[in-house]
Amino acid sequence: MKSTAERMIRNLSGQRRSWQGLRAVASALLLLLVCAGAAQATNWNVQAGGSRLEFVPRELTIEPGDTVTWSNLGGLHNVVADNGAFRCANGCDGQGGNGAPSSQIWRATVTFNQPGTFGYFCEPHGQPGGGMYGTITVNGGEPPIPVTLNGRLIGLLLGLALITGAALALHRSRG
Ligand SMILES: [Cu+2]
């Protein structure tokens, strides 16, 4: 009788220990998930003009959702997308601003959500791919964050189910 009771207590405490372990693993995974979801968009700076008729850096690689801010360091410049998606200087056309070339010390910010390579140029000093021009490459391949989170969540739940199943099976085979 005593040994049976001891075994039961030992089993119970073992089970509790394994559940505590599982809970710790689950908490750690959830924390990772939350951190991954909190990834911040980055703002990138590109200088326009100044001492040279150039955009610096000319080529820039960013992530979807990042923003690019062009700053005029001096001279008559603007920023126009090859595909017509934006035309900016003192703000952007169609967004309450004026994209006409300006020698003011302007700043203009554009958000890039779609993967791909986007060329742009300054109207007075460049054309697509020539003169005062540049490219923004937006990395692709990664689905939007909500889909990523859902995918991770499903993977996490499947993983937890597998771990739980294995732990239970192990526990049962021991008992
Ligand atoms: Cu220019």
Domain count, the chain: 2
Distance from the CA of 115 to the center of ligand 1, in angstroms?
Answer: 26
- 81 pLDDT above the threshold of 80: yes
- Higher-pLDDT residue of 129 and 19 is 129
Nearest CA to 67 among 44, 100, 93, 39?
44
Please check whether residues 70 and 31 belong to one and the same domain.
no
Whole-number pLDDT of residue 158 = 85
Distance from the CA of 131 to the center of ligand 1, in angstroms?
Answer: 9
Please check whether residues 160 and 118 belong to one and the same domain.
no
Please check whether residues 151 and 133 belong to one and the same domain.
no
- 119 pLDDT above the threshold of 80: yes
Please check whether residues 86 and 152 belong to one and the same domain.
no
Give the CA diameter of the chain.
95
Distance from the CA of 116 to the center of ligand 1, in angstroms?
Answer: 24
Please check whether residues 80 and 32 belong to one and the same domain.
no
Q: What is the pTM of this model?
A: 0.62
* Residue range(s) defining the domain that contains residue 131: 43-138
137 confidence band (pLDDT: 50, 70, 90): very high
- Write out the residues surrounding ion ligand 1, Cβ under 5 A: 77, 122, 124-125, 132
- 48 pLDDT above the threshold of 80: yes
Phi, psi for 139 (deg, rounded to 5): -60, 145
Q: Sheet of 67-72: strands edge to edge?
A: 55-56, 43-48, 67-72, 107-111
pLDDT digits (tens, 9 = 90+) for 24-46: 766 665 555 554 555 689 999 99
Beta carbons of 68 and 113 less than 8 angstroms apart: no
Please check whether residues 34 and 110 belong to one and the same domain.
no
Whole-number pLDDT of residue 168 = 84
